[in-house]
Amino acid sequence: MPMHSHPLLSSYSMARREQEDYLLSTEIVNRGIEDSGIYAGSPSFSVRVRRGLPNFLTSVNLKYVRLGYGYLLSHGFYLLTAPLIILIFTAQLGKLTYRDFSPVFHLTDALFLIAFLALILYIYLDLSPRSTYLLDFACYRPPNHLKISKHEFIELARKSGNFNDAAIQFKQRVLKNSGIGDQTYMPKSVFRLGYSPNLKDGREEAAMVFFGAIDDLLAATQIRPKDIKILVVNCGVLNTTPSLSSMIINHYKLRHNINSFNLGGMGCAAGIIAIDLAKDLLNAYPASYALVVSTEVVSNTWYGGNDADMLIPNCFFRMGAAAVLLSSFRLDRWRAKYELKQLVRTHKGMDNRSFKCIHLKEDAEGKQGLSVSKDVIEIGGHALKANITTLGPLVLPVSEQLHFFTNLIFKKKKKPYIPDYKLAFEHVCILATSKKVLDEIQNNLELTEKYMEASRKTLERFGNTSSSSVWYELAYLEANTRVKGGDRVWQIAFGSGFKCNSVVWKALRNVGRPKRSPWFELEDSQ
């Protein structure tokens, strides 16, 4: 029985030497029956060796640990000065008596002390960064006529005549193991004969998902469009003139002096980047509202050729959008759902393999599409490891950090102790890319099925909606009344560049079942 060698086998010995940094996965592929040569009539197999997610238990890069503590200490001024000021206030107030406030005894001294304390309090509140509150968010659910099953997807692709038999078979294999269900949404216009991305279809899809999500958000929060001072829109592939943010401003007649930003080409991680930008703008413009809108326009990511590495996004990307309303009003704490606690961004673009692993290109026939490297899981794993190592000092309990450092300094084993991130969060929302990626992350972070449920259910029900995916996952938790006051929610997103971003929210109250959610079956969804 012949064994045809795979090109990756030549680097097998090298990969063995790197097992401290990489996980190798093997796959035996049945290539059918040989139809010619001396082995005619015999079954033929090949062995593929792939790099998977790096084993987080075998290496810890201390520079990312130091970076995390650097973030913590950069905000240490406020943590250290607050108790000191409170102590001084208490000591001084303890010396005062009724006579100090009497119009007869030491009135000038008492007034001076009160004014001094008020000045210190004002300076402290003015210098300290304002909290960023998440009032509410909404995720768009397309109408039912855009639902597409995996079987219908393959049949429409076959009937379109845009793909050869090998491409159709490749899509079938990918969809079979994708974790995607049969009720996701797609613009079926992409299956037209000879279809190529165009501005008309892109703008129409963007308008549908944008306005649907924003309408639901404004209805839920009762915020007037003219009260929104900051607008941040992110969409990876579709970038038009006027911009997508201008489309929203025109539709809702937002204020003429609005601070608007349009983020493009930043992939699935752009949703958290948009939150980071909005947070900084809210600090610059106190007592303001910021609207963040995240999407990916599927009709513009569609690829109509036959290159395997460019067919993968076709199989996973689905329609969707999220609109998020943030506030820097201090009084909004009493009506907001969440408070932003930490946000850590990691960018691996300085490495050429990371930079090129996901990129927009044209194939030999000039057809445009997103190319996904076979090394994307390995590269994404390294970005994820760097990100969570930086995030750890900001979120982990002191006991876990002491355990980690004690083991690191006095270690007798080769494998360092990796902190238990389940102690830092009650809920985890991982970008719903594919079943394989979710499985790898679950194994490396040792997460239970309860932590993975929102991500897996979102992938099954809505597919990969790119930068809005983590919001569909949070919507799932809310629809099932899982979020209680004080719970910490960790959203993780990664995308081209290569980037991995984390944001941590703290629930300010028990979040009840929302009136409207993409997870509810609605009578008007037709």
Percent of the chain with pLDDT over 90: 60
Percent of the chain with pLDDT over 70: 74
Cis check for the bond before 242: say yes or no (omega within 30 of 0).
yes
The beta-strand segments (E) located in 355-395 are 358-362, 368-372
| Res. 484 pLDDT band, cuts 50 70 90 | very high
Asked about 198 being catalytic, the answer comes back as: no
Per-residue pLDDT, 396: 85
One of 234, 306, 314, 464 is an active-site residue; which one? 464
Distance CA 96, CA 91 (A): 9
| Res. 107 pLDDT band, cuts 50 70 90 | low
Average pLDDT over residues 10-26: 38
Asked about 234 being catalytic, the answer comes back as: no
Per-residue pLDDT, 156: 95
One of 268, 315, 357, 500 is an active-site residue; which one? 268
Average pLDDT over residues 262-274: 94
| Res. 82 pLDDT band, cuts 50 70 90 | low
Asked about 352 being catalytic, the answer comes back as: no
The beta-strand segments (E) located in 52-161 are 133-139, 147-148
Q: What is the DSSP letter of 140?
A: -
One of 300, 347, 429, 501 is an active-site residue; which one? 347
Average pLDDT over residues 134-157: 96
Per-residue pLDDT, 419: 73
Tokens for 214? 């924003």
Lowest mean pLDDT among 126-135, 320-329, 342-351, 502-511: 126-135
Per-residue pLDDT, 105: 47
Tokens for 70? 């650097």
Could you report the per-residue pLDDT of 169-213, keeping only the tens digit for each?
Answer: 999 999 999 999 999 999 999 999 989 899 999 999 999 999 999
- Cβ atoms within 10 Å of 368's Cβ, excluding its own: 18
Task: Please name the residue that has the structure tokens 């090998």.
Answer: 166
Per-residue pLDDT, 210: 97
One of 162, 427, 429, 501 is an active-site residue; which one? 427
Q: Is the pLDDT of residue 220 over 60?
A: yes
Q: Could you tell me the pTM of the whole model?
A: 0.80
Q: Is the pLDDT of residue 145 over 70?
A: yes
Per-residue pLDDT, 67: 56
Question: If we measure between CA atoms, which residue out of 426, 519, 525 comes closest to residue 472?
Answer: 519
| Res. 6 pLDDT band, cuts 50 70 90 | very low
Q: How many helices (H) and strands (E) does the chain have?
A: 17, 16
Q: Is the pLDDT of residue 459 over 90?
A: yes
| Res. 279 pLDDT band, cuts 50 70 90 | very high
**Contact status, residue 239 vs residue 216, Cβ threshold 8 Å:** no
Which has the higher per-residue pLDDT, 76 or 436?
Answer: 436
For residue 509, the SS3 value is coil
Distance CA 91, CA 225 (A): 47
Question: If we measure between CA atoms, which residue out of 463, 469, 474, 494 comes closest to residue 426?
Answer: 474
Asked about 251 being catalytic, the answer comes back as: no
Distance CA 258, CA 269 (A): 25
Distance CA 60, CA 217 (A): 41
Task: Please name the residue that has the structure tokens 């970076």.
Answer: 67
Q: What is the DSSP string of 403-460?
A: HHHHHHHS--SSSPPPP-GGGT-SEEEE----HHHHHHHHHHHT--HHHHHHHHHHHH
Per-residue pLDDT, 190: 93
| Res. 98 pLDDT band, cuts 50 70 90 | low
Average pLDDT, the chain: 82
Q: What is the DSSP letter of 317?
A: B
Beta bridge partners of 323: 138, 293
Integer CA distances (angstroms), 213 to 206, 321, 325, 483, in order: 11, 7, 11, 22
Per-residue pLDDT, 11: 36
Lowest mean pLDDT among 1-15, 92-106, 293-307: 1-15
Q: What is the DSSP letter of 129?
A: P
Distance CA 467, CA 322 (A): 8
Q: Is the pLDDT of residue 477 over 60?
A: yes
Q: Is the pLDDT of residue 417 over 70?
A: no
Average pLDDT over residues 59-80: 54
Distance CA 22, CA 353 (A): 15
Could you report the per-residue pLDDT of 363-405, keeping only the tens digit for each?
Answer: 999 999 999 988 888 899 889 988 988 888 888 888 877 776 6
Tokens for 8? 């990756």
Report angle CA 152, 157, 161 to the nearest 5 degrees: 140
Q: Which domains are present in the chain?
A: 134-507 (3.40.47.10)
